[in-house]
Amino acid sequence: RCFQQFLLGMQNPHTFSKEILHFYFEASSGDMSGVSPEVKQTSKPVLLLWFWPENKRFHLQSCKKFFHIDDCILTDDKTLESKAQGVLVFHRAISEDLSNLPTSRTRFQRWIWFNTDSPTNTQRIPGLQGLFNLTMTHRKDADIQIRWHVTARKSMDKEFVLPTKERLLCWIVDDKRMNKKSGDSYTYFVTLSKHIKVDIYDRTSDDVKGKKYFSVISGCKFYLSFENSIHRDYITETFTGPLAAGTVPIALGPPRRNYENFAPGSSFIHVNDFSDAEALAQFLLRLDKDNEAYMRYFDWWKFYNLRQQFSEEKHEFVHAICQACRYLGLRKEYRYVPDLYKWFLE
């Protein structure tokens, strides 16, 4: 009955009152002839990486190695298309005519829309609106969230050690973004830099690649965690990275209350806390001279933990993809999204 409703919805999404509908099913093993012995000998679902995001390839056992996630069989073998219980599709890799997408979907196969971009930077490709039944984005209401999460500490025996600070305020930013000389972050930076020194690093420079990235960030007292566009829940590694490195992020993005859904409110500074950039600069200069007040921004470490993101480029998408593996292995829920763009872009 549930699948019959799904088919009716595919024909006429307007017959449903809710924008996103939930369905539950028991995954069918299907015909396993011609499948590798590893797949045959386990009941774990197969998650097919249809594209390697930005062609950044990592070892297929990385989920088990880095996160102890062993809930699915991760593969990039497209001959398993019809056998896979899940197909992960990276939005940025989809061609405009959809010609590089899978040609068919089995009855209860879950197609996961994987998008790391904000709505502003997401290309609207015609024909995608009703193709996917699971979503994986920064949005809190996505089926799978790609954010690195703050978690409660299992024990409080580890004391916080402040990294050596060599610089007051830093920003790692793409030169192209700076050269555009537009956007909320650039405008705010220009005004702020009139009142306080900001050490700028080009994101593409070897000086901030690999392990040097966290070395630079941890050496700064404060870091400009400015998102490239402002949208609900669009809070990326530009915020969680400094937080995990022992640096106080200065957030420019969605409202403070939105950030507090994902991180302790006392762990960061938000530009909206001040009347203007000059007021923020004066506050930072005072904090620089008041070590006791500065250290209070790290009290959250006593109770919470945040793992640093991977510094190697090839591992950029490992965490997100492993979350999809965990979801596929633990949950049998999928959603019918009548209009993907209405949900995400509007």
**What string of pLDDT tens digits covers the 346 residues of the chain?**
344 344 334 434 333 333 444 444 444 444 443 445 555 556 899 999 999 999 999 999 999 999 999 999 999 999 999 999 999 999 999 999 999 999 888 878 999 999 999 999 999 999 988 899 999 999 999 999 998 889 888 877 678 899 999 999 999 998 777 777 778 899 999 999 999 999 999 988 888 888 899 999 999 999 999 999 999 999 999 999 999 999 999 999 999 999 999 999 999 999 999 999 999 999 999 999 999 999 999 999 999 989 888 888 899 999 999 999 999 999 887 777 788 999 998 7
- pLDDT (0 to 100) of residue 198: 96
Contact (CB, 8 A) for 172 and 217:
yes
- pLDDT (0 to 100) of residue 6: 40
- pLDDT (0 to 100) of residue 337: 78
- Which of 174, 241, 209 lies closest to 312, judged by CA? 209
| Sequence-separated (6 or more) residues with CB below 8 Å from residue 50 | 78, 87, 88, 89, 90, 101, 102
CATH of 157-308, one of 3.30.40.10, 3.40.50.11660, 3.10.180.10, 3.30.70.580: 3.40.50.11660
- pLDDT (0 to 100) of residue 40: 52
Per-domain boundaries in the chain? 2-148+314-344, 157-308
What is the C-alpha to C-alpha distance for residues 221 and 124, in angstroms, rounded to an integer?
39
What is the C-alpha to C-alpha distance for residues 114 and 221, in angstroms, rounded to an integer?
34
**3-state DSSP helix/strand/coil percent for the chain, to nearest 5?**
35, 15, 45
- pLDDT (0 to 100) of residue 38: 53
